[in-house]
Structure 1
């Protein structure tokens, strides 16, 4: 339990245990962080996030330079976005993918140049499209026939040319949860490969206000192998070739999406960015060679795998309850001061997490379930984990790998204010996003 190596797979790279069993992040004792910022709190190991962003930038640049092209890395802001995070992404040489007017506003506040931003969304409003064009976004990923006309009309009003990509349902079934598998036909994103893409291409090429860059695919999330990307790449490159033959237009870009998995449990073994980069570069090269076409400019969209492992959530234990399940099984329910409002992923996706007691030394020996404070029986933070026999009120529990989709999906259910996001670095710790208060919630009320 006190072996630093045991923490490596799930906790951030700068998280360590001391001789007394307490945990520190970038040299800051979690007990001190709890005293200064309170709990629950999202904690971000900033140097870890930076190092992961650099890995994607450098490894994908190396691998795709090796096959004669460029790979742009777009950080998927939906995983977690704040002004400070957008600045970090830009400082580390990544582009930024946004999928709403709110995310675009954060990017603009952070000073991200328009040409480095991609705009997603399956139902963009006219106001969102206008804002994207006004900021000069580098590309808009178009998701429907209505949106083709909507973007073209907005570009005409602005006297601009909108660079667009068409999102394609490649039919690849990624090995992931149903709600985060996004390339099969029966879901809301994109154009059908066999039924709609040809007509979408014709409509885009017919509007002089639009410039078609290429095709976009996203096969799902939390993916641990590259097989699905191989199938998607082959189909998209085949589409690029078909467009060249039918319309005489060479499309210069291809986006393979993101969805690269991370370790939520010690048993998870995700692919390193260097390995994924080499595999995807090989996949693209082989597909282009087989199709007899030039290799386009490639882009990818990691989000979870940049910020997920760098983030953790710190809770304080409030109550401990022993429950006899049957003659052979009993379980300890450990209730903490947060729950499904700050991490809805367990109830949404059956997501599994790992946590440990981090304020003292204690051997895990009791089958436990960490639950929240909300008025729902499904309010589970960690479904199954071994925790100390003597776990008690006021112990601190740290849940690993919560950097992605926890703050982004958070709510104020039961009128529980959202936790702060605390950036932890060797030089100090500070809020990236302050703690929400009851007063913040009441400001929205009209009496």
Structure 2
């Protein structure tokens, strides 16, 4: 390439020199003719004419023996084309680097102080049963608040005689007092009471809100779009119920029917044992997860610690620290585990803290960290998608390889 360019440059210099000499001779001839005309000379400067003819012949011979190569001409054009293609490729790379993809699959494994999720349907347009817990919880106390109606079917095993069905006055008394049904474990029965929430049918769009308090106490609030019938809560164990003030020893499975006010269930659970897990038979489909809380002063993140992983990419898992904000919009997803746990404080080993552990997997179309104006978009870019998918990466590599082959062929043909 360099030899051909040097030879072409020498040819162009020779042409310029010959044209310069021809122009100079033509000017001398014109000046001589003007002088001859002025002095009325009949003869013309024959020497200058002969010199001009010699230079014209030299130019003609130069054009015949040193023509500009066609391949070199095409190669010069291809150089300009390749520069344009390279510029477009750089611009395209910048666009791919800045443009996030439409959706991605993520996995979350987290511990939080509060969690709110909304149920989704099992099939589009069809509401289905949601299994909340496979195993009964062992509690030291249970409190159901703001009840409109309470019915207890059990009559045996209590320290006082009660009717088969509590009359309306007693039911309304529970509601008017806004204490509802309160159960506490007897001191001589340390194993506690059992609470069964399994096989409860909650309609689509029901919202569950878990919040940690202290000393293994958790608040569980459930909001449903409609409660077309009473909910059945299974109790078992030695319990005290107030009001009325009575103690009962119940086999597991005794049912308390409750009808809450305004389609909301307010309850407080105090665990009898540590690390009590709510295990699902199958993942619970959810359409929304909220990892933030509010008080009278401000909103705050409920994240204590966790890991965020992108399934479709080779990224390392992102560690989420205490108080870090995380927002995402779910297209489809499932809660695969939910546990009420007690962990050891990493700074003060003698102290423990209560937490809610959950695992989530699903597809999101938006995910970010940070608060308000300092949010950072965590959605992968299209360039990362190309790098992570070897098929698309191989296609781009093949295109660049073919461009390199074409360039090498033109370089070879342009040589003398």
Q: TM-score, normalised by structure 1?
A: 0.20
More strand by share: 2
> Who wins on radius of gyration, i.e. which is larger?
2
